[in-house]
Amino acid sequence: MNAQGGWNLALAALAIVAWSWDFTCIAAGTSTSTNMSTNTTSPPYFRLSQLEEAKAKAKAEGKPIVWIASFLGSMTPYKNPMGAGPHAATYHAHLTFYRAAVVVWSDSDSENHREPAIVDGELHTPDAHYTAPGVIALRPDLGKVIGKVFHISDGKERAAAYAELLKKVRDKASWGGASK
C-alpha cells in the first residue's frame, strides 16, 4: 500500500472513531436559535436559515464553510458512514469536515435553488440534477469555491475524495486569497 492509500484509510478510520464519540454541543455553541441542530449525538452544523451566523463564526475562527446539500434526515448519525447510500455519504462528509470548517446543511428537496448563488451554481454544475450529497467548500465570505465533491457510493473512493478536499480546507493558501 502506498503512503497516500494509508492516509486515506487513516482518515476514514478517524471519521468512524469520531462518529462514535458523544457530541454534546449545539450548532454554534452559544446560540439559542430553535432552527439549530441540537442533536447531542451528532456534530454541530448550521442550517441555511442561519447562514449569516455561520459566516460570522467562520470568519471569527478563520475557517472555511463546508456546505452539505442533502436530504432530510441525512445529517443524523448513521452506523456505517462508509456505506454506499446518500445517508452514509452525507454523514461521512459531516464527520470529515465539522472540525476543520463551519458546516452548513441545506435540504436538497425543500431548499433546492434557495442557497446563495455561488453554492446553487456549484451544486448544479456540471450536472443540473446532482446526486446528493453535494459537498462544497468555500471561503468564509462565500466569495470563492475551494473545492467540491458529489456523492460517491464507494466508501474508500469517497474517503479519498474527502481527504483531498480536507487538505484544501486546511490549507489557507488554497482558498485563493484573503476573505473580505
Handedness of CA 66, 142, 169, 33 (dihedral sign): negative
* Superfamily grouping for domain 3-175: Glutaredoxin (3.40.30.10)
Q: Which residue has the higher pLDDT, 58 or 42?
A: 58
Residue-wise pLDDT tens digits, 112-121? 999 999 999 9
Q: How confident is the model at residue 22 (pLDDT cuts 50, 70, 90)?
A: very low
Distances (CA, A) of 50 to 35, 38, 62, 103, 140: 8, 14, 18, 11, 14
Encode pLDDT of 57-84 as tens digits: 999 999 999 999 999 888 888 999 999 9
pTM (predicted TM-score): 0.76
CA distance 37 to 26: 6
Domain range list for the chain = 3-175
Q: Residue 178 pLDDT more than 70?
A: no
Helix (H, G, I), strand (E, B) or coil at 176: coil
**β-strand partners of 66:** 103, 137
